[in-house]
């Protein structure tokens, strides 16, 4: 018996303007599919991340707590991810805006543990971020994600690579994210982050999963810090807006700036804005953003 067509949506996350932020494909499954099929579908879409979401039970809103519960997995064109924030926000936006979920909270069951998404009425301007006013749906989504531990990293093994791969930028500090082995590289200015043109062929040789380049934002920018994410090893040369990397950037910048709430900007060509709160007492990071649906369709295989 042939499988039923799979409905999908393309959603731009962490923006209220179409064709900005970070795009993700959201596939809504009515029946379980195996990982090989998901990987092949993600390869076919060819976008940075494809999310596959499936109700955890026939009832999307269990009467005992009112939360919709879904299984969620994320794939790049070449591998499955352990966690992906922007595709989780895109998935939440689609489930809320399409009416699949009528309530205001979704609990996702993932390989990284449970992640909740809360629908919050109003634009992101309530969190201090200037809105461009492009979103049709005036609501935000707040993700409750795990806090990543960052630890000291000896920069010596990388110094010979910095000048060639990162165009000789001035390095102010390096850290590693324990769970992902991503390398955090702080450089001297936000302008340098924006202008950086790293050599992807060299980044593929670096140890760890990816490289996150970050700097304190200029005082007149309206942001606390600015970053970019490069992950050619996992099939993403540059992730336009990587929410999960802020699970490590939040404690990193908290220790430097002495605060727990941030407005952050990812300076890819598409760009994206995030409102972040580090919850040290619970070991969680709250990340809030908006999203825009740009396409819907069906996968026929």
Assigned fold of 150-274: Diaminopimelate Epimerase; Chain A, domain 1 (3.10.310)
**In CATH terms, are 6-146+288-299 and 150-274 the same topology?**
yes
Assigned CATH class of 6-146+288-299: alpha beta
pLDDT at residue 153 is higher than 90: no
Q: Which long-range contacts (CB under 8 A, 24 or more apart) does 294-298 make?
A: 294/10, 294/11, 294/12, 294/18, 294/19, 294/23, 295/9, 295/10, 296/7, 296/8, 296/9, 296/10, 297/7, 297/8, 297/9, 298/5, 298/6, 298/7, 298/8
Could you tell me which residue, 46 or 58, shows the higher pLDDT?
46
Could you tell me which residue, 130 or 138, shows the higher pLDDT?
138
What's the whole-model pTM score? 0.88
What band does 162 get if pLDDT is binned at 50, 70 and 90?
low
Q: For residue 296, list its beta bridge partners.
A: 9
What's the mean pLDDT in 245-270?
Answer: 96
Tell me whether strands 284-289 and 139-146 are parallel, antiparallel or unpaired.
Answer: antiparallel
Mean model confidence pLDDT for the chain = 89
Domain coordinates in residue numbering, the chain = 6-146+288-299, 150-274
What's the mean pLDDT in 151-173?
Answer: 75
Q: Which of 30-34, 61-65, 82-86, 236-240 is predicted with the least confidence, judged by mean pLDDT? A: 61-65
């Amino acid at each position: 018996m042939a499988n039923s067509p799979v409905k999908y949506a393309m959603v731009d996350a962490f923006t209220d303007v179409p064709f900005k932020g970070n795009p993700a494909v959201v596939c809504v499954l009515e029946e379980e599919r195996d990982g090989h099929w998901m990987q092949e579908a993600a390869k076919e879409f060819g976008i940075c991340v494809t999310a596959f979401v499936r109700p955890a039970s026939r009832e999307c809103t269990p009467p005992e707590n009112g939360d919709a519960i879904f299984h969620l997995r994320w794939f790049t064109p070449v591998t499955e991810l352990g966690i992906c924030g922007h595709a989780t926000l895109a998935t939440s936006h689609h489930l809320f805006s399409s009416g699949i979920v009528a309530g205001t909270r979704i609990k996702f069951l993932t390989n990284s543990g449970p992640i909740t998404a809360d629908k919050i009425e109003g634009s992101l301007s309530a969190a201090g971020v200037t809105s461009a006013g492009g979103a049709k749906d005036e609501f935000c989504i707040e993700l409750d994600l795990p806090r990543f531990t960052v630890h000291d990293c000896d920069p010596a093994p990388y110094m010979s690579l910095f000048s060639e791969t990162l165009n000789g930028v001035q390095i102010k500090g390096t850290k590693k994210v324990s769970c992902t082995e991503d390398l955090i590289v702080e450089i001297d200015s936000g302008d340098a982050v924006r202008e950086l043109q790293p050599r992807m062929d060299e980044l593929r040789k670096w140890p760890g999963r990816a490289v996150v380049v970050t700097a304190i934002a200029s005082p007149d920018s309206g942001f606390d810090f600015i970053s970019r994410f490069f992950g050619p090893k996992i099939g993403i040369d540059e992730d336009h807006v990587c929410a999960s990397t802020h699970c490590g950037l939040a404690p990193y910048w908290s220790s430097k700036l002495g605060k727990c709430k941030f407005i952050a900007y990812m300076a890819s060509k598409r760009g994206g804005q995030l409102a972040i709160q580090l919850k040290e007492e619970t070991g969680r990071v709250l990340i809030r953003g908006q999203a825009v649906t740009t396409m819907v369709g069906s996968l026929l295989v």
